[in-house]
Structure 1
Protein backbone atom coordinates (compact mmCIF):
# COMPACT_ATOMS: atom_id res chain seq x y z
CA UNK A 1 0.00 0.00 0.00
CA UNK A 2 1.26 3.46 -0.87
CA UNK A 3 2.37 5.78 1.91
CA UNK A 4 -0.51 8.27 1.98
CA UNK A 5 1.19 10.55 4.51
CA UNK A 6 2.84 12.41 1.60
CA UNK A 7 -0.43 13.07 -0.20
CA UNK A 8 -1.46 16.70 -0.56
CA UNK A 9 -4.51 18.16 1.15
CA UNK A 10 -7.87 17.35 -0.41
CA UNK A 11 -8.70 20.89 -1.52
CA UNK A 12 -10.77 21.44 -4.66
CA UNK A 13 -8.36 24.02 -6.05
CA UNK A 14 -5.59 21.49 -5.73
CA UNK A 15 -7.47 18.82 -7.71
CA UNK A 16 -9.27 20.91 -10.34
CA UNK A 17 -6.57 20.17 -12.92
CA UNK A 18 -7.90 16.61 -13.13
CA UNK A 19 -11.15 17.88 -14.63
CA UNK A 20 -9.21 18.99 -17.73
CA UNK A 21 -7.02 15.91 -18.17
CA UNK A 22 -6.90 14.29 -21.60
CA UNK A 23 -7.20 10.88 -19.92
CA UNK A 24 -10.39 11.75 -18.05
CA UNK A 25 -12.94 9.03 -18.69
CA UNK A 26 -10.47 6.79 -20.54
CA UNK A 27 -9.80 3.17 -19.69
CA UNK A 28 -7.24 3.19 -16.88
CA UNK A 29 -5.59 0.05 -18.29
CA UNK A 30 -3.72 2.31 -20.70
CA UNK A 31 -2.04 4.07 -17.78
CA UNK A 32 -1.65 1.26 -15.21
CA UNK A 33 0.02 -2.07 -15.88
CA UNK A 34 -1.72 -5.37 -15.25
CA UNK A 35 -0.03 -7.92 -13.01
CA UNK A 36 2.89 -9.63 -14.69
CA UNK A 37 3.09 -7.31 -17.69
CA UNK A 38 6.48 -7.52 -19.43
CA UNK A 39 8.18 -5.96 -22.42
CA UNK A 40 7.46 -5.44 -25.26
CA UNK A 41 3.80 -5.07 -24.24
CA UNK A 42 4.71 -2.83 -21.27
CA UNK A 43 6.78 -0.47 -23.43
CA UNK A 44 3.97 -0.28 -25.97
CA UNK A 45 1.39 0.55 -23.28
CA UNK A 46 3.64 3.21 -21.69
CA UNK A 47 4.27 4.77 -25.12
CA UNK A 48 0.53 4.85 -25.84
CA UNK A 49 -0.17 6.50 -22.49
CA UNK A 50 2.66 9.00 -22.94
CA UNK A 51 1.29 9.96 -26.36
CA UNK A 52 -2.05 10.80 -24.76
CA UNK A 53 -0.26 12.83 -22.08
CA UNK A 54 1.82 14.67 -24.69
CA UNK A 55 -1.17 16.71 -25.82
CA UNK A 56 -2.76 17.08 -22.40
CA UNK A 57 -3.38 20.65 -21.16
CA UNK A 58 -2.61 19.62 -17.56
CA UNK A 59 0.43 17.47 -18.17
CA UNK A 60 2.74 19.48 -15.90
CA UNK A 61 0.52 19.59 -12.79
CA UNK A 62 -0.20 15.88 -13.25
CA UNK A 63 3.49 15.00 -13.51
CA UNK A 64 4.40 17.32 -10.64
CA UNK A 65 1.75 15.78 -8.38
CA UNK A 66 2.96 12.25 -9.12
CA UNK A 67 6.54 13.26 -8.40
CA UNK A 68 5.63 15.10 -5.22
CA UNK A 69 3.72 12.17 -3.70
CA UNK A 70 6.13 9.61 -5.19
CA UNK A 71 3.25 7.85 -6.93
CA UNK A 72 4.45 4.26 -7.36
CA UNK A 73 2.05 3.18 -10.11
CA UNK A 74 1.02 4.25 -13.56
CA UNK A 75 1.86 6.85 -16.16
CA UNK A 76 1.24 10.37 -14.84
CA UNK A 77 2.02 13.49 -16.82
CA UNK A 78 3.72 11.37 -19.46
CA UNK A 79 6.15 9.72 -17.02
CA UNK A 80 6.28 6.03 -16.21
CA UNK A 81 7.01 4.60 -12.78
CA UNK A 82 10.64 4.09 -13.78
CA UNK A 83 11.03 7.65 -15.07
CA UNK A 84 9.65 9.04 -11.80
CA UNK A 85 12.01 6.85 -9.75
CA UNK A 86 14.96 8.06 -11.85
CA UNK A 87 13.88 11.69 -11.44
CA UNK A 88 13.58 11.27 -7.69
CA UNK A 89 16.99 9.58 -7.47
CA UNK A 90 18.60 12.43 -9.45
CA UNK A 91 16.88 15.04 -7.26
CA UNK A 92 18.05 13.32 -4.07
CA UNK A 93 21.58 12.98 -5.41
CA UNK A 94 21.57 16.67 -6.36
CA UNK A 95 20.33 17.66 -2.87
CA UNK A 96 23.13 15.64 -1.22
CA UNK A 97 25.72 17.17 -3.54
CA UNK A 98 24.62 20.75 -2.90
Structure 2
Protein backbone atom coordinates (compact mmCIF):
# COMPACT_ATOMS: atom_id res chain seq x y z
CA UNK A 1 0.00 0.00 0.00
CA UNK A 2 1.24 3.51 -0.83
CA UNK A 3 2.32 5.88 1.91
CA UNK A 4 0.24 8.99 1.24
CA UNK A 5 1.34 10.84 4.37
CA UNK A 6 3.95 12.83 2.42
CA UNK A 7 1.60 13.91 -0.34
CA UNK A 8 0.54 17.55 -0.33
CA UNK A 9 -2.96 18.27 0.86
CA UNK A 10 -5.87 19.01 -1.42
CA UNK A 11 -5.20 21.77 -3.91
CA UNK A 12 -8.82 22.77 -4.32
CA UNK A 13 -8.06 26.30 -3.14
CA UNK A 14 -5.99 26.79 -6.30
CA UNK A 15 -8.96 26.31 -8.62
CA UNK A 16 -12.14 26.68 -6.55
CA UNK A 17 -12.59 30.25 -7.83
CA UNK A 18 -13.50 28.80 -11.23
CA UNK A 19 -16.86 27.61 -9.90
CA UNK A 20 -17.91 31.26 -9.52
CA UNK A 21 -16.69 32.41 -12.94
CA UNK A 22 -19.15 34.21 -15.22
CA UNK A 23 -17.80 32.19 -18.16
CA UNK A 24 -18.50 28.83 -16.53
CA UNK A 25 -20.47 26.68 -18.91
CA UNK A 26 -20.19 29.05 -21.87
CA UNK A 27 -17.59 27.03 -23.73
CA UNK A 28 -14.21 28.16 -24.97
CA UNK A 29 -15.19 29.61 -28.36
CA UNK A 30 -15.92 33.01 -26.87
CA UNK A 31 -12.52 33.21 -25.21
CA UNK A 32 -10.10 31.51 -27.62
CA UNK A 33 -9.82 32.52 -31.26
CA UNK A 34 -10.01 29.88 -33.97
CA UNK A 35 -7.07 29.41 -36.32
CA UNK A 36 -6.85 32.20 -38.84
CA UNK A 37 -9.24 34.58 -37.11
CA UNK A 38 -8.10 38.16 -37.70
CA UNK A 39 -9.25 41.74 -37.84
CA UNK A 40 -12.79 42.75 -37.02
CA UNK A 41 -13.95 39.20 -36.29
CA UNK A 42 -11.24 38.70 -33.70
CA UNK A 43 -11.77 42.14 -32.19
CA UNK A 44 -15.52 41.48 -31.90
CA UNK A 45 -15.00 38.09 -30.23
CA UNK A 46 -12.43 39.56 -27.83
CA UNK A 47 -14.82 42.40 -26.95
CA UNK A 48 -17.67 39.96 -26.29
CA UNK A 49 -15.39 37.92 -24.01
CA UNK A 50 -14.26 41.05 -22.16
CA UNK A 51 -17.91 42.01 -21.55
CA UNK A 52 -18.42 38.67 -19.82
CA UNK A 53 -15.24 39.20 -17.81
CA UNK A 54 -16.33 42.71 -16.81
CA UNK A 55 -19.21 41.30 -14.76
CA UNK A 56 -17.28 38.34 -13.37
CA UNK A 57 -16.92 38.12 -9.58
CA UNK A 58 -13.59 36.27 -9.86
CA UNK A 59 -11.97 38.34 -12.59
CA UNK A 60 -8.91 39.15 -10.47
CA UNK A 61 -8.33 35.50 -9.60
CA UNK A 62 -8.67 34.52 -13.26
CA UNK A 63 -6.15 37.13 -14.37
CA UNK A 64 -3.73 36.13 -11.63
CA UNK A 65 -4.03 32.48 -12.69
CA UNK A 66 -3.26 33.41 -16.30
CA UNK A 67 -0.24 35.47 -15.24
CA UNK A 68 1.06 32.80 -12.85
CA UNK A 69 0.74 29.99 -15.38
CA UNK A 70 1.81 31.97 -18.44
CA UNK A 71 -1.42 31.31 -20.33
CA UNK A 72 -0.42 31.88 -23.95
CA UNK A 73 -3.88 32.00 -25.52
CA UNK A 74 -7.32 33.41 -24.95
CA UNK A 75 -8.98 36.08 -22.89
CA UNK A 76 -8.35 35.61 -19.17
CA UNK A 77 -9.39 38.06 -16.48
CA UNK A 78 -10.52 40.50 -19.15
CA UNK A 79 -7.17 40.68 -20.96
CA UNK A 80 -6.13 39.19 -24.29
CA UNK A 81 -2.81 37.44 -24.80
CA UNK A 82 -1.25 40.64 -26.13
CA UNK A 83 -2.64 42.72 -23.26
CA UNK A 84 -1.29 40.26 -20.69
CA UNK A 85 2.16 40.40 -22.30
CA UNK A 86 2.10 44.20 -22.15
CA UNK A 87 0.91 44.06 -18.53
CA UNK A 88 3.79 41.76 -17.57
CA UNK A 89 6.27 43.96 -19.45
CA UNK A 90 5.06 47.09 -17.64
CA UNK A 91 5.32 45.33 -14.27
CA UNK A 92 8.81 44.07 -15.12
CA UNK A 93 10.00 47.54 -16.15
CA UNK A 94 8.38 49.06 -13.05
CA UNK A 95 10.07 46.52 -10.79
CA UNK A 96 13.47 47.24 -12.33
CA UNK A 97 13.16 51.00 -11.76
Q: TM-score with structure 2 length normalisation?
A: 0.86
Q: Which has the larger radius of gyration?
A: 2
| Unaligned segments of structure 1, at least 5 residues | 1-9
Q: Distance in 2 between matches of 1:92 and 1:71?
A: 17
Q: Distance in 1 between matches of 2:34 and 2:43?
A: 13
For 1:1-98, list aligned pairs within 5 A: 11-97=11-97
| Unaligned segments of structure 2, at least 5 residues | 1-9
Q: Distance in 1 between matches of 2:96 and 2:59?
A: 28
Q: TM-score with structure 1 length normalisation?
A: 0.85
Q: CA RMSD in A?
A: 1.1
How many residues align? The count is: 88
